[in-house]
Amino acid sequence: MAENIRDIRLIDITVGELIEFLDQRYPNKNQRNQTTDTFMKIDDCATITGYSEEYIRQLVFKRKIPFTKLNNGTLRFIKKDIIDWMGNNKSTPTEVAAQRYIETTTISNRTFNRLNK
């Protein structure tokens, strides 16, 4: 479509070329939302995580949560990073944690049986 768009007869272009032109000219709503929804403010982060804004600020101070700090000092959070962070920080039940500990330590069965009584 190197020619001026006004010089092309509509009958001479394929449906694929028309779709490509329209996609470039008018990006669909989902594509726009993916780019604009990337960054969240602290209140949106609080809504997603269920934490208070104050607790999120504490996590930022301790650098335990992924964040971006803008030049004016405001905080922004990337939605995907927050969801991934939440998935990586989920707690394990005590029984599962104990079993993993037993499997990874070199404690003998006899000692374990004595401690387990």
State the pTM of this model: 0.48
Domains in the chain, ordered, with CATH? 8-35 (no CATH), 37-117 (1.10.10)
H, E, C per residue of the chain: CCCCHHHCCHHHCCHHHHHHHHHHHCCCHHHHHHHHCCEECHHHHHHHHCCCHHHHHHHHHCCCCCCEECCCCCEEEEHHHHHHHHHHCCCCCHHHHHHHHHHHCCCCHHHHHHHHC
| Tens digit of each residue's pLDDT (9 = 90 or more) over 60-99 | 999 999 999 989 989 999 988 888 888 887 655 666 666 7
**What is Dmax (Cα atoms) for the chain?**
90
In this predicted structure, what is the pLDDT of residue 24?
78
Higher-confidence residue: 52 or 12?
Answer: 52
| Tens digit of each residue's pLDDT (9 = 90 or more) over 99-114 | 766 766 655 555 555 5
| Tens digit of each residue's pLDDT (9 = 90 or more) over 19-59 | 787 777 777 655 544 544 578 999 999 998 889 999 999 99
Q: Which two tokens stand for residue 112?
A: 């374990």
In this predicted structure, what is the pLDDT of residue 14?
78
